[in-house]
Structure 1
Amino acid sequence: MLIDFSFSNFRSFRDEQSFSMTRDERFTESNDSRQSPITAIYGANASGKSNFLKAMCAMRSMVTNSYSQGDANSDILREPFLLRETPFEEPSMFFLEFTAENHLKYQYWFRYNNKHILEEELTFFKDMGGRLSTHSSLLFSRTGNDEVKFGATFKGPRTQVRKTVGLRPNALLLSAAAAAGIECVQPVFSFFQNDMAYCVANAFEQEQPILLDQFKNKTPFSKHLTSLIKYADFGISDVKSVPANIPSDIWHQFKEQMKTQIGADEGKLEEAFNIKNATQLQFTHTGGDSSSAGFGLDNESRGTVAALSFFSLALRQLSRPTVTLIDEIDTSLHPALVAELVALYTDPATNPHGSQLIFTTHDVSLINQSGSSNRLLQPDQIWLVEKDKDGASELFPVTELGIRKEENIGKNYLNGVYGATPNPSFHTVFAQIMNGDDD
């Protein structure tokens, strides 16, 4: 479970930003969890909403890949804030506080430039017989010149880790220790590798291999998806896997190109692409007179494909404790369906493991309610992003703006009360262009 996240000098974010999933007591009930299951990020186009999610992804990628990819001479891939004279001279930083699968709370952070990990530290809070200690304990820390200090609970080959860090100053100690199989860091590494997922709402293809496999094997998961897509009222009565219909002329043309360009063997091509066993999804639509017809993905609307992909993602992510990041969740989905998907995370009956959803959106209908009882998103579950005059993004919670408990946040957001909305002068400039005024 994600608790707090901070970062600096990443893409459009120049200064340090602090984000939290911890609830504000003004907007919670006594039985609510301390950490929110949902957060929505609003802001104008190009304000930095997507960059905020990408910051979490960049941290995740560094943890999982920094040791396994590249060598001692490789540059560290990073994207600093570029709108300054010497953008690559300033280091970047990531910090994350979270609860791992072993129910312990961890704090992990590192600072780095293009060549070196400058600082790195991992601490945790001990289990004191059913409650966590209020004081953190060190697992390891790393400072300048790759000096490493280990805490008493770090069990593993310390000399080997120190040597590895010395040979790979561009790799995270956490990444190297996990690769070495050191048990005490595995819950932390697993959180980044297995418990966090990132999805761009219109990138349906990333879910398709899972969908094809599930429907091909007629798993219970595929049956659940069929039930959900029926409920969504797209006029679909069934979804199933059928042999892929690859036109013979297209396949023949492809084989000839491969043989000409790389000398590929025809039999090996068929084996590599598994042509004989290739499948595709077929959606059965039923008419008013009970007649039916099957359609492939190419003939389905983007909304149907998006819904099926989201249902698949939600079923997997809600089946265990996870953190899911979705960019532009309202793309290709009706607002009512977006609200239903978000509501899955707010109800313990559909979210029994306390999974979390953090998403960017322009859908104001999610926050366009007065009062507190009928709100899908409470004020402390809404964050805004806007850019300043220097082109630097800033992330801040709505609760910093002194809003009232009964306030209609959506209405005020659209009216520019909170900022983080497009500049209305756009309309004036457009009118001037249409009138031939070049000034």
Structure 2
Amino acid sequence: MDIFSTYSVKIKHYNHIFKDTVKVYREAVDFLIDVCLENGEELSSIDSSLNKQRFIETLCHTTKNNKAIYDFDNKFYKFPSYLRRGAISEAIGKVNSYKSNLNNWKVNPVGKEPSVPRAGYIFPCMYRTDMYKAVIGDNYKARIKVRTRNTWDWIEVDLRKSDIDYINRHCKLRKKCAPTLQKRGKAWYLDFPFEEKVKLNDTHIQEQTIVAVDLGINSAATVSVMLADGAILDRRFLNLSKEQDCLKHSVNRIKKAQQNRCYRTPRLWARVKRINKDISIKTAQFIIDVAVLYNADTIVFEHLDKFGKKRDSKKQKLHMWKCKEVQAIVANKAHRLSMRVSTINAWGTSKLAFDGSGYVLRGLDADLPTYSLCKFNNGKIYNCDLSASYNIGARYFIREILKSVPVKVRFELEAKVPQITKRSTCTFSTLINLNTELQDLNA
């Protein structure tokens, strides 16, 4: 499996010199987009992306054996060859996306017709040897080719020492790709992509140890470490009460400002985003720490869908919930540790009791002081998030076990345990019953 990551290195002492470079690059992409649109039929008949790039280059670039049709070389004088090919690839990609969207719109004409693509806010890639060179003997400096004084010339830039030291310390074993010039705020950066290859574990389902995670809105995460036979090795809870209070206080400050007709509050929103980011990072690190402690093979989440309108009183709280970001961070860290990440059907994991007694009552509906507790039909009072984590792990094991057995055995199991035929109603008790029937069949 290939993992790609990016680290941004800040460029010191330069603020305005790169504007002309980005401007010329975007104008070149716009020019090449028009060329691709005018030669759309010939371009669509070519299969290989490399051959498409060569075809557009022959139309725009004059050489000893080729006479260009379009006046690209005169309009963009001394445009670097690597950057020209990058601009051609960018233009071809935007045109292909436009044609695909246009065909989809013609089939189902909902909304406005897709507009002709433009370069937009893209930035040039500093291809090695032609656009970027590291200064030998000084790791904190680099030479890049930019548009300056109406020509393309090399300049030497100073890079931030902490960024370079971090790359040398943590990214030494990864493959470094060509950087991209980027602007964030008033500062300019070189974004270095890194590529690394990892091999994920192939442990058999009956020998796997999983970490079942229930991400909550009120509590950060509830984690259960499970085995395939239903054994629970550990249960962990993460309640970031201090961070949640800070988030609630910051949101209330925004509400207060809006009540006083101050609708633009970028600094207050920036504080909220930083707190939310901190909660996501701490939650992801907590999950990874538990997985490493028990040498887990798979981390299991719910497949959470937040699309659509939210109309209840918790609309803003649900909107601020960064469940997808937590899952992305965990997946990135887990894959580097050869762990797998899986998702299961989220319907009813909290509503159904893990012991198979049916639907639960939560909070005030069950005369309980907190919404985190629930009451089962048999009168048992239990932590609702913990019950949900049991169901999450059970659904993963049920799905993978049924995949691993022959079809004939699966039909026999479905006849004896009918609950496994409908994945959205499986609970922890279903896994126990399934394992019992498997043992009887193997006996």
TM-score interval, normalised by the smaller of the two chains:
under 0.3
TM-score (norm 1): 0.23
Give the structure with the larger helix fraction. 2
Greater relative contact order (CA < 8 Å, ≥ 6 in sequence): 1
Give the structure with the larger strand fraction. 1
Larger radius of gyration: 2
